[in-house]
Amino acid sequence: MGETGSLLTKLECRACCSQIDATRLVGTCPTCGHTLFAVYDLARLDWQRWKDARSGRDRSLWRYRELLPVGRTEAIVSLGEGGSPIVSMGPVPEAPGLEVALKDDGGLPTGSFKARGMAVAVSRARELGASALFVPSAGNAGVALAAYSARAGLPARIYLPERTPTGLRAACAQYGAEVTGVPGTIREAGEAARRAEAGRGSFDVSTLREPYRVEGKKTMGLEIFEQTYPESFPDAIVYPTGGGTGLVGMSKAFAELAAIGALDRTPRLYSVQPAGCAPVVRALAEGAARVAPWPDPSTVAPGLLVPAPFASERVLEAVRTSRGGGVTVTDEEIVGAMRALARRHGISAAPEGAATYAALPHLVQQGAIRDGERVLLYNTGTGLGFSPDDLERSIRG
């Protein structure tokens, strides 16, 4: 037990430039209501010494503890999250000429990449004295919060859209969380959650409404770097986008690595969204500063059913600064990609992760990804709880 060596110094708001004491349990910026970001004393991090220190650590995301916000080892709430593999895909008929790999977070605790963000957010909330946690979720974030809250001994309340798959609702309850169904999408679930939780003393761990889930998602970028740089470092990363925290987190990771002299180039980030709910891709195409809510959203991918991501300015910023872009895929293409990943490559992908495979031919046709480039697809969760046949029937109506 003792100090982690975290180099966290403060929180900052990129919208109004406020700086906040990082020892406070705080959600959004008290001045303007925008997202707060953790700032580290990178000048104290010698790249070579840090690389040597990590060599003796386990493969969990906590190997990057100096660039994570938790200060005391006893505050860490862990189920072994992080360290997911990168799998070479071999030839992909729909995208010839590309060197394609896939980072597979489907084997993480609770079955998705949400374990990364929640492990760090719950640990830091616990360290700062939170007494109860809540989140609106499309499913996987709720499952992750339920599990890590149980591990931490904290009450958790999860607000889910009523259309959330039964298995995800049951998993939240199995971990002991209080589950409330809400008509509509995650947008309505968020509004209902904040109304219900007002005055209860609970802490909101919604996407980009607190500073530390993005720090957990940052480890996606740190792992990609450590697993591939420099020989097989990707030219492009294709990422399924709902709330967009992963894009923001990877962008932050690459920026911090560049600042300490470890990285000399950044992959282009490509946002993939379903045609029935694509506010981020539309905003990128239109050059908008923020997203406009998507009317009548629909998709078979529950994690991508986010009609108006919070702090969308930061999501768009992450894609644009990487010189990337966005692309949409149909639900039919998503289901076809789930089958192709399973039958050709032996990979179980949730609809969200399969959307990245479906996006490949579109990105090639657009000229966004070029012959000979290295492309990394991000599979955010296991597909074991989904039946392509059932999803196909739901599309047909």
Give how far Cα 386 sits from Cα of 235, 305, 396, Å: 31, 16, 16
92-112: average pLDDT: 96
Strand order in the sheet with 8-13: 19-20, 8-13, 36-40
Measuring CA to CA, which residue among 67, 6, 15 is closest to residue 216?
A: 67
53-80: average pLDDT: 97
- 10 pLDDT above the threshold of 90: yes
**Model-level pTM greater than 0.85?**
yes
C-alpha R_g of the chain: 20
Q: Two tokens at 162?
A: 């009523």
Q: Two tokens at 99?
A: 């060197």
pLDDT digit string, tens, across residues 230-265: 999 999 999 999 999 999 999 999 999 999 999 999
Measuring CA to CA, which residue among 63, 134, 88, 79 is closest to residue 112?
A: 79
- 1 pLDDT above the threshold of 70: no
- 397 pLDDT above the threshold of 90: no
Measuring CA to CA, which residue among 229, 238, 215, 235 is closest to residue 261?
A: 229
Residue 58 dihedral angles phi and psi, to the nearest 5°: -70, 175
Q: What is the pLDDT of residue 65?
A: 98
Buried-state track 349-371, b at ≥16 Cβ within 10 A, e below 16: bbbbbbbbbbbbbbbbeeebbee
* Residue 80 confidence class, pLDDT cut points 50, 70, 90: very high
CA dihedral 44, 250, 369, 271 (to 10 degrees): -160
Q: For the packed helices 213-228 and 114-127, what is the interaxial angle rounded to 10 degrees?
A: 130
Q: What is the pLDDT of residue 365?
A: 96
Instruction: Report whether 308 contacts 279 (CB < 8 A).
Output: yes
pLDDT digit string, tens, across residues 116-148: 999 999 999 999 999 999 999 988 999 999 999
CA dihedral 70, 76, 80, 81 (to 10 degrees): -40
Q: Two tokens at 105?
A: 């977070």
Chain centre distance of CA 122: 15
DSSP state of 238: E
Q: Which helix (H) or strand (E) holds 390?
A: helix 388-396
The number of beta carbons lying within 10 Å of the beta carbon of residue 323 is 11
- Mean pLDDT for the chain overall: 97
- 278 pLDDT above the threshold of 70: yes
Instruction: Tell me which amino acid residue 146 is.
Output: A
pLDDT digit string, tens, across residues 59-72: 999 999 999 999 99
The Cα 305–Cα 277 span in angstroms is: 6
Q: Two tokens at 195?
A: 């109304």
Give me the domains of the chain, ranges plus CATH numbers: 86-112+211-396 (3.40.50.1100), 114-204 (3.40.50.1100)
Give the percent of the chain with pLDDT over 70.
100
